[in-house]
């Protein structure tokens, strides 16, 4: 059972293509989170920055970069990198120091300025880098990999292109009232199916964009929250940052093959299933306790996978829940009420932090226009390259 920490403040910079330095976005989000918390910057004793390798040296030392930009205040710093799970790892670093009694108030910041198009490896030949190898040896871009997941759902569970399109329709509707979303426009199934095929069976509107954006959290101990008049805060109850377990018999990007199960047998759980299970175990809850979920919809089909991997429904049942309207706001288990990456796009170091921001607003009852009524428990899910997984459980 975990010991929770309080989410004292949340803040974001709207997602888009702004063409500015990522530090500007991060400072905007950090100041918004500090203002939301009512805690002064001078009282922050730890800054954890989410690293972004595409933004030069400042990105590699993000903790220091944000601390300097906000004005040196003597805080300790840390920098986290876990690809798309970076934000959750940064949250976990801050939480660990708070629970250890080594920090009282931590600021977690993730921000990114992205290139146009899908995210590719950095330039140069790196023969030991599996991410680089999948592009060089297979021509395997991210959309191509997403399409393999989608085809797998079609073959195993009878999913259709219309089902995938319906995920986009749902998330686009959710994102209409989200002031931080980049895309705030309704879509129809016909719109999705009429958009260009990127990698069969996925169309352009099935796949998330790359975006600029930022998100930030102010975390503190429950004792500090009480002493500073922060009543009934949303709490981080668990953070899972587990790695795969041998044998790993389902291919996960950027790997090109699986472990053999000939001798050891297949594992009881896939890597993605273990991410959610670890978070539930730590929080002392089960999937049946979850009221709202923010999951990593790089493609529409991946949202359906995450619903099953998090135990929100049984394997092969995600399409049935979607068709019944159970994953929309007002349904049994709303998924991505923020609009998800379908409406935001990828800003890699920020997105796992942004998911927690959304759940904090939901549990506070502040998600105007997209509120999940009575939400008390939420979970996030993310997966990064190189065995990085993350799930965060928050509760009130």
Answer yes or no: are the C-beta atoms of 46 and 94 closer than 8 Å.
yes
53 band by pLDDT with thresholds 50, 70 and 90: confident
- What average pLDDT score do residues 379-383 get? 95
Which of the pair, 246 or 76, is modelled with greater confidence?
76
Q: What pLDDT does 310 receive?
A: 98
162 has a pLDDT exceeding 70: yes
133-155 pLDDT, tens digit per residue, is 888 888 888 899 899 999 999 99
89 has a pLDDT exceeding 90: yes
43 band by pLDDT with thresholds 50, 70 and 90: very high
241-291 pLDDT, tens digit per residue, is 999 999 988 888 778 888 888 888 888 899 999 999 999 999 999 999 999
Domain regions of the chain by residue span? 5-117+212-234, 130-207+237-395
Q: Which two tokens stand for residue 13?
A: 């910079």
Percent of the chain with pLDDT over 90: 83
Q: What pLDDT does 122 receive?
A: 78
For domain 130-207+237-395, is the CATH number 3.40.1350.10? no
1 has a pLDDT exceeding 80: no
373 has a pLDDT exceeding 70: yes
- What average pLDDT score do residues 68-88 get? 96
184-214 pLDDT, tens digit per residue, is 999 999 999 999 999 999 999 999 999 999 9
180 has a pLDDT exceeding 70: yes
387 band by pLDDT with thresholds 50, 70 and 90: confident
| CATH code for the domain defined by 5-117+212-234 | 3.40.47.10
**5-117+212-234 and 130-207+237-395 have identical folds:** yes
117 has a pLDDT exceeding 90: no
């Amino acid at each position: 059972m975990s010991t929770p920490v309080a989410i004292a403040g949340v803040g974001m910079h709207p997602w888009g293509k702004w063409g500015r330095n990522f530090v500007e976005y991060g400072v905007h989000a950090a100041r918004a989170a500090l203002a939301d918390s009512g805690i002064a910057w001078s009282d922050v004793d730890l800054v954890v920055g989410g690293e972004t390798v595409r933004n030069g040296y400042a990105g590699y030392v993000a903790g220091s970069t944000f601390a300097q930009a906000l004005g040196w205040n003597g805080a300790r710093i840390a920098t986290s990198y876990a690809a798309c799970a970076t934000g959750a790892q940064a949250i976990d670093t801050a939480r660990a120091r708070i629970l250890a009694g080594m920090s009282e108030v931590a600021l977690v910041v993730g921000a990114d300025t992205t290139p146009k198009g899908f995210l590719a490896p950095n330039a140069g030949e790196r023969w030991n880098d599996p991410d680089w190898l999948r592009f060089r040896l297979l021509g395997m871009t991210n959309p191509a990999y997403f399409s393999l997941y989608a085809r797998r759902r079609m073959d195993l569970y009878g999913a259709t292109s219309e089902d995938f399109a319906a995920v986009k329709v749902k998330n686009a509707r959710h994102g209409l009232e989200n002031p931080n979303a980049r895309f705030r426009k309704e879509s129809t199934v016909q719109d999705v199916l009429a958009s260009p095929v990127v990698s069969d069976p996925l169309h352009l509107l099935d796949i998330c964009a790359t975006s600029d954006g930022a998100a930030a959290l102010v975390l503190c101990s429950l004792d500090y929250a009480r002493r500073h008049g922060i009543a009934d805060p949303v709490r981080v109850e668990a953070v899972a940052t587990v790695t795969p377990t041998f044998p790993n018999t389902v291919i996960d990007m950027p790997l090109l093959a699986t472990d053999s199960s000939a001798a050891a047998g297949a594992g009881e759980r896939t890597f993605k299933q273990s991410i959610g299970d670890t978070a539930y175990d730590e929080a002392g809850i089960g999937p049946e306790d979850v009221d709202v979920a923010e999951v990593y919809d790089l493609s529409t089909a991946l949202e359906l996978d995450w619903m099953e991997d998090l135990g929100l429904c049984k394997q092969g049942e995600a399409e049935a829940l979607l068709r019944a309207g159970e994953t929309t706001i007002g349904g049994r288990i709303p998924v991505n009420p923020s609009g998800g990456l379908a409406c935001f796009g990828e800003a890699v170091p920020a997105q796992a932090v942004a998911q927690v921001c959304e759940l904090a607003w939901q549990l506070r009852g502040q998600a105007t226009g997209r509120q999940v009524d009575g939400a008390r428990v939420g979970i996030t899910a993310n997966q990064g390259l190189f065995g990085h997984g993350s799930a965060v459980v928050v509760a009130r």
